[in-house]
A and B are shown apart, each in its own frame.
Chain A
Amino acid sequence: MPPAILIQQVSKNFGSTRALDKVDLEIQPGEFFGLLGPNGAGKTTLISALAGLVRVDAGSLSVMGHDVQSDYRAARRHLGVVPQELVFDPFFSVRESLKIQSGYFGIGDNDDWIDEILVNLGLASKADANMRMLSGGMKRRVLVAQALVHRPPVIVLDEPTAGVDVELRQTLWQFIKRLNQAGHTIVLTTHYLEEAENLCNRIAMLKDGRVVALDTTEKLLRRFSAHALRLRTDGAMPDDLASGASESAGWWTLPFDSFDEVEPLLARIRAAGCRIESLEISSPDLEEVFIRVMQGSHQGQVN
């Protein structure tokens, strides 16, 4: 099977802004892939290039083996995109919008699937409401629904949870996870790193139009972030421990790799005559990885 998404040496300039700089990315069918990066990193530009909304200056992109330029019909049939901007057509109701979108993809009778999407996104009661009457979060749900009308094997969501309440986030991710389990490839951008950490099996980080990190979520977490003991003591930290630790606001952070190391660490603190007042164990998190990668890429250290 061809890769779900294949991006090769893609560059794109907007005037003097280099939005994408020789990006290479290969995403396999069935992956749940995270595309992360700060504002202006080039995430939306990359998605737009994939969807044929912008033409790139160099390189090539394909969806399920179909080039987005030369074989655009097949490429677009295989791709569903939820745009970042909250757009809607004020002339139509929710159901009309979805029927029209189905028609664009050549699907005449799509009522059953449309009903299923509406139910799954909690839109059933709004089906016949005009788009203008919906709240922002509801409009966002319709955008998701519109991207799914043609059951695309590859689904790209550009910040689908921006400005969306907790409940929708839960239902949205449940639905997307089910689609992923059913074989759909999912690509997601978000600024909520916890979301990405929980959902994505693999993550690429973009900065200034370049891929600065690309690995499985697990490996990224392990490579750039460790478990740590966070504790407060009544005395000073022994020197040999303090050198590998950091302190802020009275809390010491002592990184460790394996839980076997915890007891010896505590024993050494006790042996130095300190009493532990409070203690917690922190796990690696993507936020820390993200910050380290973004700082590291300044000095060109990462990948």
Chain B
Amino acid sequence: MRHGGFTTLFYKEVLRFWKVASQTVAAPVLTALLYLLIFSHVLEGHVKVHGISYTAFLIPGLVMMSVLQNAFSNSSSSLIQSKVTGNIVFVLLPPISYLEFFAAYVAASVVRGLVVGAGVLFATFWFAPLTFAEPIWILVFAVMGGAILGSLGVIAGIWADKFDQLAAFQNFLIMPLTFLSGVFYSINSLPPFWQQLSHWNPVFYMIDGFRHGFFGISDASPWLSLAVVSACLMVLAAFTLNLLKRGYKLRN
């Protein structure tokens, strides 16, 4: 039987999205599938990246984009819903430390990201010859990317007082970061200015490293990507933990 602050909160967060899996899992898989059908229909045959067919190149990008967006969604929407409806008190009254709180929300976000990612992979890999050259990178970047976006989701969920503030966070930060990261193209195909800019986008490294796991080739070295992503995760985790420790918005 599960018990303890972390275990129960983690379990509750997973159960929460699983109970509405048609919205939280099936819908994003369908969206990714639509992207694949449209983009590959338009671009297949015209574009090759690193000598790989466009559709094969696109699939890992879509999988990782789904992992990231859903990890963010999970923690942020759960927190804002709990705050708006007031049932956040059920989590604030028990003896749960801020570390357990953080870990549980982020871990559940990673699980949601991985479940949706696996769903997208399963739905799309029929469409192109896909290889799994160095699968450990696939797992490492999926988990770390999910954790980073899960952590961002915790920040957004705590900061936002209303649903439209959360939507702004999502539309003006998360969406641009994920779309302008090389999901749909190799950044080497961009003009130099945009290439430079992309190198400042941490999501670029998540997707590039993730893709490396499939093809064994990538724009940046996977080790560099790992370094950037790890640093990013540590900074965000420290920032989020500090918010939670101070009780920012939650205990005031």
Residues of A within 8 A of B (CB): 51-55, 72-74, 76-77, 79, 81, 83, 85, 87-92, 97, 100-109, 146, 150
Given contacts A102-B3, A108-B3, contact A52 B87 (CB under 8 A): no
The residue on B at minimum CB distance from A87 is: B86
A53 shortest CB reach to chain B, Å: 6
- Give per-residue flags for B79-101: 1 if the beta carbon is below 8 A from chain A beta carbons, else 0: 00010011101111111110000
Q: Are B1 and A108 touching (Cβ within 8 A)?
A: yes
| Alpha-carbon gap, A89 to B88, bound state (A) | 9
| Alpha-carbon gap, A106 to B85, bound state (A) | 25
| Alpha-carbon gap, A101 to B3, bound state (A) | 10
The residue on B at minimum CB distance from A107 is: B3
B193 shortest CB reach to chain A, Å: 46
- Give per-residue flags for B5-26: 1 if the beta carbon is below 8 A from chain A beta carbons, else 0: 1011101100110011000000
B20 contact set on A, CB distance < 8 A: 91
Verify if B4 is at the interface (C-beta below 8 Å from A): yes
Q: Please tell me which one of the listed residues A55, A85, A105, A108 contacts residue B86 in the complex, with CB atoms under 8 A apart.
A: A85
Classify chain B's interface size: 20 to 34
| Alpha-carbon gap, A150 to B94, bound state (A) | 10
B91 contact set on A, CB distance < 8 A: 104
Q: Please tell me which one of the listed residues A74, A90, A104 contacts residue B94 in the complex, with CB atoms under 8 A apart.
A: A104
| Alpha-carbon gap, A146 to B87, bound state (A) | 12
Q: Please tell me which one of the listed residues B1, B2, B93, B252 contacts residue A51 in the complex, with CB atoms under 8 A apart.
A: B93
Q: Are A91 and B252 touching (Cβ within 8 A)?
A: no
Q: Are B95 and A87 touching (Cβ within 8 A)?
A: no
The residue on B at minimum CB distance from A88 is: B87
Q: Are B2 and A52 touching (Cβ within 8 A)?
A: no
B247 shortest CB reach to chain A, Å: 6
The residue on B at minimum CB distance from A78 is: B95
A75 shortest CB reach to chain B, Å: 8
Given contacts A54-B252, A55-B247, contact A101 B95 (CB under 8 A): no
Q: Are A76 and B3 touching (Cβ within 8 A)?
A: no
With most chain A CB atoms within 10 A of its CB, the pick from B7, B8, B11 is: B8
The list of the 8 closest CB pairs from A to B, nearest first, reads A103-B8, A104-B94, A108-B3, A87-B86, A73-B95, A108-B1, A76-B95, A87-B87
Q: Are B90 and A106 touching (Cβ within 8 A)?
A: no
Residues of B within 8 A of A (CB): 1-5, 7-9, 11-12, 15-16, 19-20, 82, 85-87, 89-97, 247, 251-252
Q: Are B90 and A89 touching (Cβ within 8 A)?
A: yes
Q: Are B9 and A104 touching (Cβ within 8 A)?
A: yes
A77 contact set on B, CB distance < 8 A: 95
| Alpha-carbon gap, A85 to B89, bound state (A) | 10
| Alpha-carbon gap, A97 to B87, bound state (A) | 11
| Alpha-carbon gap, A26 to B94, bound state (A) | 23
B215 shortest CB reach to chain A, Å: 40
A76 shortest CB reach to chain B, Å: 4
Q: Are A108 and B93 touching (Cβ within 8 A)?
A: no
Q: Please tell me which one of the listed residues A55, A79, A104, A105 contacts residue B252 in the complex, with CB atoms under 8 A apart.
A: A55
Given contacts A55-B251, A90-B85, contact A104 B19 (CB under 8 A): no
Q: Please tell me which one of the listed residues A53, A87, A103, A150 contacts residue B251 in the complex, with CB atoms under 8 A apart.
A: A53
B95 contact set on A, CB distance < 8 A: 72-74, 76-77, 104-106
| Alpha-carbon gap, A106 to B12, bound state (A) | 14
| Alpha-carbon gap, A51 to B20, bound state (A) | 32
A136 shortest CB reach to chain B, Å: 14
A89 contact set on B, CB distance < 8 A: 82, 85, 87, 90
| Alpha-carbon gap, A115 to B7, bound state (A) | 23
Q: Are A53 and B89 touching (Cβ within 8 A)?
A: yes
